[in-house]
Amino acid sequence: MAYTNSDIENKALSLIGSELPAESAGILKAVCASAAAELESRLRKGVSSEEIQELFVTAAGMLALSMYIELSGLPGDRVGSFSAGNVSVRLDGGAVSASAAKLRKYAENMLAAYLDGGFEFMGVRG
């Protein structure tokens, strides 16, 4: 049975471990489709996502979560600074970006054996 974007969305939600605000559900759904398409396009010739379905869905869920974090952030973002006079709070965007980058890296590492490296020698005489 082939995976669906709903499978990827459910995997991403299970990785978050908490409920998303209702207004964010559409964002997650959109990035799940995008994550699947990105990974599908990078699979090596001869490898199909159905052959590695469980691994693919997990990696796509992680990549979707990475995209979601970069687009909207997760509840509980770290406060980068706080001032009491003239009250100002700044979220630490660096921590959010670093988290998203780590998730993307984990997703790519999970599928490393199946992804096209992006560079290869073809027909080169030695």
Looking at the domain assignment, is residue 37 inside a domain?
yes
Residue whose structure tokens are 């691994």 = 55
Task: Work out the number of other CB atoms within 10 angstroms of the CB of residue 88.
Answer: 9
Looking at the domain assignment, is residue 125 inside a domain?
no
Give the pLDDT mean for 71-95: 56
Looking at the domain assignment, is residue 124 inside a domain?
no
| pLDDT for res 20 | 80
Looking at the domain assignment, is residue 117 inside a domain?
no
pLDDT tens across 67-76, in order?
998 887 555 5
pTM over 0.85: no
Instruction: Work out the end-to-end distance of the chain between its first and last CA atoms, rounded to an integer number of angstroms.
Output: 44
Range of the domain at 98: 5-110
Total domains in the fold of the chain: 1
Looking at the domain assignment, is residue 40 inside a domain?
yes
Rounded distance between C-alpha atoms, residue 89 and residue 8, angstroms: 34
Question: 55: exposed, middle or buried (C-beta count within 10 Å: 0-12, 13-18, 19+)?
Answer: middle
